[in-house]
Structure 1
Amino acid sequence: MSLTKQNSYDLVVVGTGAAGTSAALSAAQNGSKVLLLEKGTHTGGSSNYTEGLFSVDSYLQKEQGIKVSGTDVLKEEVEYSKFRADSRIWRKYVDSSADTVQWLKDQGIEYEGVQAMGAGEATWHIYKGMGNAVIHDALLPQAEKLGVELLNLTKATALHKDGQGRIIGITIENVKTNETQDIKTPSVVLATGGYLNNAKLMKQITHYDTDRLVPVSSGKGTGDGLEMAWDAGAKPYETGMAMLFGGYLKDPDEPSFKMMPSQMNTAAGQQPLLWVNGDGDRFVDESVVYNFSYAGNALYTQESVYSILDQATINKMITDGNFMGLGVYVKRGQKMDKLQAEIDQAIAAKKPFIFKADTIEELAEKMNLPVSELTKTIDSYNQDCETGTDSLFGKDADYLVPVNHGPYYGFKLNVGAFCTMGGLQVTTDNEVLDNSGKVIPGLYAAGNDAAGLTGDTYGPNMPGTCVGYAFYSGRNSGTNATKYIQELAEKA
């Protein structure tokens, strides 16, 4: 019994997120016969939860009078990566970004507008309905109209090459029946979403303490495409970077993604207020939260971290709004009308991440922190709040908010992560390179499987970079794969 309608395709795309779906649609728009694979029941992967994409010089920015220099963006991002990012890839990405925004609009998606995140540039093009609507209301329907064959519950397990090293096929497998099939194809696009959800790989090729890492994703980024490509001779490249987003509450009774819209989670982990480590000491300027990836790095410098809020601060966030939101889930400045109820419910349920006490001494005991050290830290912090000068780390006076009105709340912070990026070295055409730095003809990588955009830390200073690159690199892969197929046909 065959898993597919046909035994051969011009292109097989592995993964149905922003990168894979864009690759399949672009290839089909250029005349290719495409097979699109999804190993899960549902399509879209972690792209379903994305909020918007990066671009400069788009029609939306022009309408809003927003001016961002593409060359300045390129220079800043390459410097941010300590020159581990590929300037050529950034150049092509930046120059194509406005066209990607327009292409998505042409497929039927709608935008809410353009905004910044934290202290970053206004490059974030927010789409209506999040990524779920982009993929399922626009891209996939368009692809299927053009004859793209979509197979759910089907994964790719091996790439096949000929004696000259060119891609000639791929093995696929039904994840329920374990039935396999070899497909003939001269080109493959790998868009499997990285490896955040592969605990073994995370331990092997990153420095993160995976016990404290909270993956907030579809759960399907298990490195399938990377390992398949490495087995076929592709070069492992620029692994080890996870897109961290600062403090995150870990509820053992609920899926991690359920905390995203929580006002309590945002109040605890995303505000520039007071953090202490397991010794009860401050260890950083907490306004680092305005760059959420830096915040994640800072949290990882300590074995454990707690956020401390008093009732006055909670009341202020309820009546006046928060300092720093969490994307579009809890917007910056939003009045936290559900915050007290969420806190009270967590305390009543005896959640392990939250502590409440009438005094700082009692709070320290409940959190198992040194009582004398925590009281000393908070006394010193409150003095700094009175003078308006952070004597330890120089935090802006706007974020020096005293902790002196009980009851007091402590929150144990873990580190949230959206995805990994990197693993395969690619050209500006998204062709995958082998261990000797040569192109593997017919093999492409897009989205989080492709390296070239980052160093060891994601750059939220240009919000939307990750998913923007997924859409762009998917299109780039699909278009260039079609050109490659056509060249093969001309030579035959």
Structure 2
Amino acid sequence: LYTWHIYQGRGAGWINALQKKGKDKYGMQVLLNTPAEKLIFGKDGKVAGVVAKDKDGNTLNIHAKAVIIATGGFADNPEMMKKYTRFPNTDGIAQTGKNGVGIQMAWSAGGGKEGLEVQQSYRPGPRAVSTTNHVSATAKQPHLWLTPNGERFCDETIMGDWPAAGNALERIGGQMWVVYDNKNLDSMKHDGIVQGVGVMVPIGAKLTNFEKEWPAAEQAGWAVKANTLDELAKKTGMDPAVLKASVEQYNKAAEQRHDALFAKDPQYIFPVKQGPFYAIKSVASSLGTLGGIKVNDRLQVVTDKDKAIPNLYAAGSDVGGMYGDSYDLLMAGSTIGFAVNSGRIAAESAVKDHNLGKK
């Protein structure tokens, strides 16, 4: 478990520790609410600092011997997402402010491009809804997944394999309905869920907040309840004949303990028979982008021809080359592991190159 990011204090634990050490030992100053906007170049054409703007709109010219770019990617930049990623309309989870400015700063210095197409596909769910929401949690179970027209399209147990789930949903346009019946709901509320939603709503958690959170979900339009399948089709826009045929096939698979369409593990085929029926609208989701800037093994920003750009380094999700075409869930925690260690290596390289680190 501790290879993942669930250690004491989580992210804030080590960030606070590093900031304290930086301040106490090196006199480091942290400027909050002061995003950098562009690089400063010296008379020799080399990177010499950044131009930033504080919360009051004041422009700050911050001169430095070295600049390390670590701004978290570009998932909050619609133009870059549309230009560089294969599925730009994902629901970005916790991506506010990650607008790609750091990546563009590196490119302005001649930095090469790498890994721009890579996203961290995350488990599908309702758009812009908290991970801890219990109504949303019901959609992140291996229930019946249907296209907007009502057709089944995959083995729903891939919910636990985020890239596979994301790819399957992208293929049908990025939106689906997750359907279950009242018996399924009772089991989730009283016995617990079979698929964990990270550590926030773990396996076995009883969805005791469902009834309290349902009205807001229904009013927002991503959660639908109906007494019959015909009514459910009308409320969701699914074709009633297609929906009923999909449910019939699914129930038959549950009864025979064999899924002829997708070979789903029979222990996770929960029949849809007992009304009222529920449908949760889910969309393709992403934990962010994972590329943009080309670097070398010292985390120096390099050109497309691998020539190091003096005084400029990059780390974390701004850096390309760590992944192939998608996030690798088989190595849980790899993104934060790379962020921490690439930041460390970039800082060590800057210290060595410029004799930094003395108070």
Interval containing the TM-score (normalised by the shorter chain): over 0.9
Q: TM-score, normalised by structure 1?
A: 0.69
Alignment correspondent of 2:108: 231
- TM-superposition CA deviations, 1:65-113 (whole Å, max 9, x none): xxxxxxxxxxxxxxxxxxxxxxxxxxxxxxxxxxxxxxxxxxxxxxxxx
Q: Distance in 1 between matches of 2:59 and 2:294?
A: 32
Q: Distance in 2 between matches of 1:239 and 1:345?
A: 37
What is the CA RMSD across the aligned residues, in angstroms? 2.0
Once the 2 structures are TM-superposed, how far is the Cα of residue 173 of structure 1 from its aligned partner?
2.9
User: Match of 1:144, as an amino acid?
Assistant: K
Q: Check conservation: 1:192, 1:223, Cα contact below 8 A.
A: yes
User: Matched residues, percent identical?
Assistant: 32
Q: Check conservation: 1:162, 1:168, Cα contact below 8 A.
A: yes
Q: Check conservation: 1:195, 1:223, Cα contact below 8 A.
A: yes
Once the 2 structures are TM-superposed, how far is the Cα of residue 308 of structure 1 from its aligned partner?
0.3
Alignment correspondent of 1:288: 158
Q: Distance in 2 between matches of 1:173 and 1:220?
A: 14
Alignment correspondent of 1:110: none
Alignment correspondent of 1:149: 29
Question: Aligned runs of 1:56-75 on 2, under 5 Å?
Answer: none
Gaps of 5+ in 1: 1-113, 116-122, 251-255
Once the 2 structures are TM-superposed, how far is the Cα of residue 340 of structure 1 from its aligned partner?
3.4
Q: Distance in 1 between matches of 2:72 and 2:5?
A: 21
Deviates more, 1:307-316 or 1:337-346: 337-346
How many pairs does the alignment contain?
355
Once the 2 structures are TM-superposed, how far is the Cα of residue 233 of structure 1 from its aligned partner?
0.6
Q: Check conservation: 2:296, 2:306, Cα contact below 8 A.
A: no
Q: Check conservation: 2:109, 2:309, Cα contact below 8 A.
A: no
Q: Say whether 1:248 aligns with 2:125.
A: yes
Q: Check conservation: 2:114, 2:321, Cα contact below 8 A.
A: no
Q: Check conservation: 1:246, 1:299, Cα contact below 8 A.
A: no
Secondary structure of 1:441's aligned partner: strand
- TM-superposition CA deviations, 1:286-323 (whole Å, max 9, x none): 11111112211211111331100111111111222111
Once the 2 structures are TM-superposed, how far is the Cα of residue 202 of structure 1 from its aligned partner?
0.7
Q: TM-score, normalised by structure 2?
A: 0.93
Alignment correspondent of 1:171: 51
Q: Distance in 1 between matches of 2:154 and 2:271?
A: 17
Secondary structure of 1:453's aligned partner: coil
Q: Say whether 1:411 aligns with 2:290.
A: no
Q: Distance in 2 between matches of 1:293 and 1:287?
A: 13
Question: Aligned runs of 1:52-91 on 2, under 5 Å?
Answer: none
Match among 211, 220, 224 for residue 340 of structure 1: 211
Alignment correspondent of 1:31: none
Q: Distance in 2 between matches of 1:209 and 1:389?
A: 36
Alignment correspondent of 1:44: none
Alignment correspondent of 1:195: 74
Q: Check conservation: 1:321, 1:334, Cα contact below 8 A.
A: yes
Q: Distance in 2 between matches of 1:283 and 1:219?
A: 32
Gaps of 5+ in 2: none
Alignment correspondent of 1:131: 11
Question: Aligned runs of 1:42-61 on 2, under 5 Å?
Answer: none
Once the 2 structures are TM-superposed, how far is the Cα of residue 244 of structure 1 from its aligned partner?
2.0
Once the 2 structures are TM-superposed, how far is the Cα of residue 134 of structure 1 from its aligned partner?
3.4
Alignment correspondent of 1:76: none
User: Match of 1:474, as an amino acid?
Assistant: G
Alignment correspondent of 1:140: 19
Q: Say whether 1:180 aligns with 2:60.
A: yes
Q: Say whether 1:422 aligns with 2:288.
A: no
Alignment correspondent of 2:326: 457
Q: Check conservation: 1:169, 1:184, Cα contact below 8 A.
A: yes
- TM-superposition CA deviations, 1:434-468 (whole Å, max 9, x none): 13221112211101111121122101121111111
Secondary structure of 1:189's aligned partner: strand
Once the 2 structures are TM-superposed, how far is the Cα of residue 161 of structure 1 from its aligned partner?
4.3
